[in-house]
Structure 1
């Protein structure tokens, strides 16, 4: 038996008037998911433990079978694992976004958060900007590392875990009330603005109509993580296919195979087919029992408040990930089970994560009893199936 999870990050949403009162998942044309749902269990699952932040870190740990209350030590340390940054027990890891702030003639704290991703800046451009930051700010206490796109890493030697606000939570807001209380971090963010605002990379981006990546933003502080081996925990050899350092870091910590896919970049135009092919290859040719395919695009479109592209990202997930995976697994003749779900909602209306339950669809290639439902939030709620502890859902996938 082979096992697959397809995770549409932030795919769940609220009903939207422009979509005729439907959610993006219900509105999108998803013939493959519609077909599979007829032979699937659908329901709702709560992935964010009560009182914990509704992030992709806690949610994906839960979906992968790790109780966040036990295993979560912060988001950035997981990304450090992906990047290959060694952490001492006394280190604190910080997510270091390159963001777009407004550039009117006002003090730093009066600027507005325009874009948490700087127009989804390329990793190549970001690497040059991080090098400029390193030259201006790095010292024995703070080290900077390039990640992917706008997502980078800072290691704080003998630092401390302090509350920090994710930039995607304050889009269109003035930043003053959300700046770090730790003066060292605040000063570095201000200095980064001076380093980056007129950097040649940013002047070129501005000439192309793209947002300038003109400031660092620290968040997601945490300590060195320690995850149990996925194979020891579930007796399955697993593979991770994701463009996002967070997911790759979880996989590294869990001892899973991390598969790099050329052109997979976490955007709407990521290499969907490459991800699907990599998962099938891992399952059929590389002795893996389990493949986790993570797609970031629905979440990014939710943060952007882009209804049309959130719908499109779900349609791409259906036709360019799920369809080829199902077709190739069917051709192989091997029995398999497929779980499709979001990690958390990212509602268009508020452009950030919420802690609400999400719809899941669990398909078995051996199922022959036909049901009369489709896969979306409303029908999943009406199914009566509800899983309170999200980290137990994977056991449902594996046990049948």
Structure 2
């Protein structure tokens, strides 16, 4: 039995007035997602436990079968695993964004979605000026990593804010707390001084001339130590692979004992290569039992409040990924589709509501449902499940 899991990040949402009171999922042309829903079993997944951050690290940890209340230690160590950076006992990893600060406010959590090539140059400047504080590692576009070595005691004592949750807010009101702690004071100073250093860099001067947001500061957040996860092979007896442009998703897969598959042309943005993701996923199924494919584009559109791009991302996922699997799998298989969390256009941020999910199996039954969306899923035979129970259901029901 081959198993495919497709996660449309932030794909779920709320009804929008501009869409006649419907959600992007309801409006999108998605015949393959609808086919899976109408020929499979459906329900809602509560991927984000109460009082935990409504983010992909928590949500996808749940989907992979790990209760975040027990296993989650922070986003940074997941990013480290996805970048093949080994953390030792006591090391604390932070996510490090290149962001846009403007007149004392957080203007853009992504530094205008700069290219990785631009980021590499800017991060070299960061390393040169702040490398005495810790180790910096270059990731993809605005997403990078900062590691404090031998600093375990600070992981739980600091309160850091995710930049995508404070866009439009004052920098001073969102610095690391408590500011009286020496390391917090040093990190806050680093972030503020990075604005002075990076603003005059030729890359940012050119971006401003072109009307783009400059990546003129760094912002560290999501700190944590390396978690210990039982490999999915030990839990479910399957060999897995993970495909994503997003480092934290790859890191979750690596920590779960899955093979990380690097795919050319994937960007984590609207222009990602959907077809390559599907093709590499099909190849991976030759010697794996499970492939997880994650698509970031719907989430980025949700953060931007871009209705058309969110609909387009859902349709691309449907056509070029889900459809490709359904057309090319020719033995017993399951295909599961879901969001990790909603990123509603009207909120422009993550929320913790349950998300729709569907499982089609060549060996399974089907519900009396016609479409894949937030409302039809409520009538599914699975009801509402805690997210970490999804894998148990997948490997025990089919």
Given the two structures, how large is their TM-score scaled by the length of structure 2?
A: 0.94
State the distance in 2 between where 1:118 and 1:126 align: 9
Partner of residue 351 from structure 2, selected from 346, 354, 357: 354
State the distance in 2 between where 1:372 and 1:300 align: 29
Whether the 8 Å contact between 1:338 and 1:397 is mirrored in structure 2 is no
Partner of residue 332 from structure 2, selected from 332, 335, 342: 335
Partner of residue 160 from structure 2, selected from 150, 161, 164: 164
Whether the 8 Å contact between 2:369 and 2:380 is mirrored in structure 1 is no
Secondary structure at the residue paired with 1:310? Answer: helix
State the distance in 1 between where 2:122 and 2:65 align: 37
1:215-226 correspondence to structure 2 within 5 Å = 215-226=217-228
Secondary structure at the residue paired with 1:388? Answer: strand
State the distance in 1 between where 2:307 and 2:53 align: 24
Whether the 8 Å contact between 1:8 and 1:343 is mirrored in structure 2 is yes
Secondary structure at the residue paired with 1:38? Answer: helix
Gaps of 5+ in 1: 105-110
Tell me the equivalent position of 1:107: none
Whether the 8 Å contact between 1:267 and 1:296 is mirrored in structure 2 is yes
Secondary structure at the residue paired with 1:337? Answer: strand
Tell me the equivalent position of 1:28: 28
Gaps of 5+ in 2: 178-183
State the distance in 2 between where 1:186 and 1:270 align: 34
State the distance in 2 between where 1:42 and 1:370 align: 7
Tell me the equivalent position of 2:181: none
Secondary structure at the residue paired with 2:227? Answer: coil
Q: CA deviation at 1:195?
A: 1.3
Q: CA deviation at 1:196?
A: 0.7
State the distance in 2 between where 1:343 and 1:225 align: 20
Tell me the equivalent position of 1:179: 175
> Are 2:242 and 1:240 equivalent residues in the alignment?
yes
> Are 2:132 and 1:133 equivalent residues in the alignment?
no
State the distance in 2 between where 1:41 and 1:312 align: 25
Secondary structure at the residue paired with 2:375? Answer: helix
Whether the 8 Å contact between 2:303 and 2:348 is mirrored in structure 1 is yes
Moved more, 153-162 or 365-374: 365-374
Whether the 8 Å contact between 1:144 and 1:154 is mirrored in structure 2 is yes
Secondary structure at the residue paired with 1:220? Answer: strand
Secondary structure at the residue paired with 2:353? Answer: coil
State the distance in 1 between where 2:386 and 2:379 align: 19
Give per-residue Cα distances to partners, 1:82-104, cap 9 Å, x unaligned.
112221211111111000111x4
Partner of residue 143 from structure 1, selected from 135, 144, 157: 135
Q: CA deviation at 1:384?
A: 6.1
Tell me the equivalent position of 2:262: 260
State the distance in 1 between where 2:22 and 2:200 align: 44
Whether the 8 Å contact between 2:43 and 2:385 is mirrored in structure 1 is no
State the distance in 2 between where 1:82 and 1:101 align: 27
Q: CA deviation at 1:367?
A: 4.6
Partner of residue 210 from structure 1, selected from 212, 217, 222: 212
Give per-residue Cα distances to partners, 1:311-370, cap 9 Å, x unaligned.
1111111011111111011xxx21111110011111111211111111101111345757
State the distance in 2 between where 1:245 and 1:74 align: 14
Given the two structures, how large is their TM-score scaled by the length of structure 1?
A: 0.94
Q: CA deviation at 1:254?
A: 1.7
Moved more, 42-51 or 156-165: 156-165
1:42-57 correspondence to structure 2 within 5 Å = 42-57=42-57
Secondary structure at the residue paired with 2:270? Answer: coil
State the distance in 2 between where 1:239 and 1:68 align: 21
Give per-residue Cα distances to partners, 1:158-215, cap 9 Å, x unaligned.
3312111111111122222111122111100011111111111111222222210001
Whether the 8 Å contact between 2:100 and 2:215 is mirrored in structure 1 is yes
State the distance in 2 between where 1:367 and 1:230 align: 22
State the distance in 2 between where 1:233 and 1:202 align: 48
Report how many residues are paired: 387
Tell me the equivalent position of 1:227: 229
